[in-house]
Chains A and B, each alone.
Chain A
Amino acid sequence: MYQNSFVEHAIGFRSDSHISDPHDHSLTIAEQKLENNSATKNLWIALYFPSLPILATGQSHNNQPTVVYETISPNFLLIYANITAQMIGIKQGMSPSELSAFAPYIKILKRDLKKEQLIIKKLAALANAWSPTVMIADHLILLLEIGSTLRLHNGLTSLTRRIERSIPNELEDYHIAITPTPESAKLCVKYTTHTYLTDYTQLVSYIRDISVDKVTLSDRQYKLLSDLGIKTIGDIFRLQRSGVSQRFGFEFLNYIDRLTGKIIDPKPFSKSRPSFYADIDLEGEISTVQQLSSGITSLLMKLEQYLTKSYAAINQLDWYFYYENNCYEKLPIRLNQLQRNFVSLYRISELSIKSLLLSDVVINIALYARPQAISELDNTQFLITANESKKYEFLDRLCARIGSHTINGIRCNATHKPEAAWAYCTPGNKSGFFPVGARPFFIFKTPRLLVTRDRKPYFHGTLKLSKCERIVTNWWEQYPIKRDYYIASNHQGQLWVFRDIGTKSWYIHGRF
């Protein structure tokens, strides 16, 4: 019955179609028998959050036309335009020159991918309540396998209602798609706001009208499709498999097969990890830090036993100190490398706890940690040398004493805007190298205004200026600059100064 309906559907594409050997590469994709019957038992939900980029910037737009962009060097990509921006004609994928026509009226924000990933991971953790199989796709989409959990949720309608109630208000413009395969769910969720397609036999006919714009392809592939006059997924189905493989690559053919459920589509899924929690009631009047050591020792020994049994390690732990007056104090400790050894954990905890000022008598101490299974770690995690290990233990001791917020690495950023060309980062992070001209070893956080005499910069004396270096940034940046930089020298030393082309003022930006 299923096969007949598929053949009838296939006849709709070509009048001379017939059922043949599925491995015959002369057949079109639509005419192939679907081998994987288990696909009919699967059902997937895709949730797409198009406004996540703007939410992640943390800036309110208050009905002002607002767009979010990212720069994937050297290209500028407009990835989101809010409703107000869309109403005045701005669309995703617009080029900078097209956008410049709207320049004074729109708010342009840079994408914060890190924050987006944080939010989507939180949503994924929330989604675990609806399905044990949750995946994050393309930064903005959650994929959930729900075929196996429908009975638990009393059916699809009940499940979708629960999802609707649980999505945060800030993301209420989400799209939802329910289809039999994960790739088709991903595709449909971008195509329209609501898709409910539970019948596998209707999948191909539903997705054939979707434009190829919705598929993630390279520029070359888009051009090729356009040159061939292919506008929809259905047009691709009409092509010969061998031709598709030759022109677009085996990966693309593989994608089409996963889209239609012809082949299975295994994906890694995100899973929330179990946590460790233990506490201890303290006897006697514990009001100094030294008196806490026996409680701390006991809890850390329990943690070590737990980690050994579960073959796991931790890189963070949280201490809680509960006072007699019903208040509590939290002391988070972050480690630079995974640990499960009692002695190391005790030394670092002791250093951190020394700085505590107990406000009252402590009646209970609790320890919370999120272990990571060692099997999930990168292979090289426990192959670091003794010296490397010592380096990070030293870092842990520093963090415990002076706080991790006071310890930074530095890195270069790929921009020629001087104040943005550097950033603090996690110690040990590798930095890309971006060749620049002569730069000072010290830069000021904000440039300092220089006095001028006869329109020339003056700093405890006349300055002799070197050759000029003009630095101009992209107009769409939030704070674009246009400056002429010089190395200026006098008896006070060598300075890095610039003249702002707009305001004609002189500033000192750093010292050599």
Chain B
Amino acid sequence: MKPCSIDKKKGVSKGRSGIKNHLTLPTGYTELDQYLPGGGWPLGTLTEILIRSPEETPLWLIIPALAKLNNEPRWQVWTSPAHIPYAPALMSSGIDLSKILILNPPTYKDIVWTIEQSLSSGVCSAVVFWLRTLTNKTSHRFKLAAAHGGTWAICFCLLGHSRNETMSSLKFSYLPNRYGGKINILRCAGNKSHHTLQINNNIA
């Protein structure tokens, strides 16, 4: 068994067996779970999903996990959502709407402050947010805040900025298609190889 190697440039510790210290939550899609360390979404850390445009946000991918987390007596925060989260659809998926907070901070500075406060507060089970781009510094702050608050952070970023190095524990790109979407896992702690997989959502 190889010892853990420390990448001195990035300051990231990489282990063969993947994320050791994070709880995980099954995604609801077995074809995705088998490629994720711990068999699900990593909680208490940052997940970054790259999309072509905010309209193509694959909410169906994260909703099953959000519905499970919704059982906790904590808020679920949606910061600057791209469009109106549709209450009847969320409720049909098992989400308790009384735990949802929709925030629309007026400035970029306020958006970042709100996200960080929500992640670190400990009273939020998940924070979903949309940012045009996520820098290394900001992602580091968010990751630390998520760890402090035990919160699952989900960031939707534009695909054009995929080259930015960020500190997210899980990062993948998403392209929609007729049956659901194609996911290309770009980073997944403890797993070096990229994976591309088709996930069907059984809606159409």
Contact = CB atoms under 8 A, between A and B. Distances in A.
On whether the two chains bind one another, the answer is yes
B88 A429 contact: no
Interface stretch (A147-155, A191-199, A280-288, A434-442): A434-442
B6 interface: no
B110 interface: yes
Nearest to A416: B88
Given A487-B204, A492-B176, A410 B181 contact: no
Interface in B156-196: 176-179, 181
Contacts, number: 152
Contact of B75 (A394, A431, A440): A394
A431 B98 contact: yes
B90 interface: yes
Contacts of A466: 204
A424 B123 contact: no
User: What secondary structure prevails in chain B residues at the interface with A?
Assistant: mixed
A511 B114 contact: no
B178 A489 contact: yes
Contacts of B102: 407-410, 424
A268 interface: no
Contacts of A492: 56, 176
Interface stretch (A80-88, A397-405, A475-483): A397-405
A441 B63 contact: yes
Contacts of B110: 401-402
Contact size range, A: 35 or more
B26 interface: no
B203 A391 contact: no
A428 B98 contact: yes
B97 A487 contact: no
A423 B91 CA distance: 13
Nearest to A393: B123
A494 interface: yes
Interface in A160-174: none
Interface residues of B, number: 48
A464 B178 contact: yes
Contact of A422 (B87, B121, B177): B87
Interface string A5-39: 00000000000000000000000000000000000
B178 A490 contact: yes
A427 interface: yes
A441 B106 contact: no
Contact of B89 (A391, A401, A407, A439): A439
A256 interface: no
Given A394-B123, A397-B117, A402-B106, A493 B86 contact: no
A427 B78 CA distance: 12
B59 interface: yes
Nearest to B105: A402
Q: Which of A407, A429, A464, A494 has the most CB of B within 10 A?
A: A494
B45 interface: no
Interface string A469-505: 0000000000000000001111111100000000000
A436 B93 CA distance: 11
Given A402-B114, A406-B106, A407-B101, A489 B85 contact: no
Contact of B86 (A434, A443, A491): A443
Given A402-B106, A410-B85, A493-B56, A390 B97 contact: no
A386 to B, nearest CB: 11
A421 interface: yes
B104 interface: yes
B114 A398 contact: yes
Interface string B121-137: 11110000000000000
Interface of A: 387-388, 390-391, 394-395, 397-398, 401-403, 406-412, 421-424, 427-431, 433-436, 438-445, 464, 466, 487-494, 510-512
Given A391-B123, A410-B97, 14 more contacts: A403-B106, A406-B103, A406-B105, A408-B103, A408-B104, A422-B86, A427-B98, A431-B87, A431-B97, A436-B88, A439-B86, A442-B55, A442-B85, A494-B176
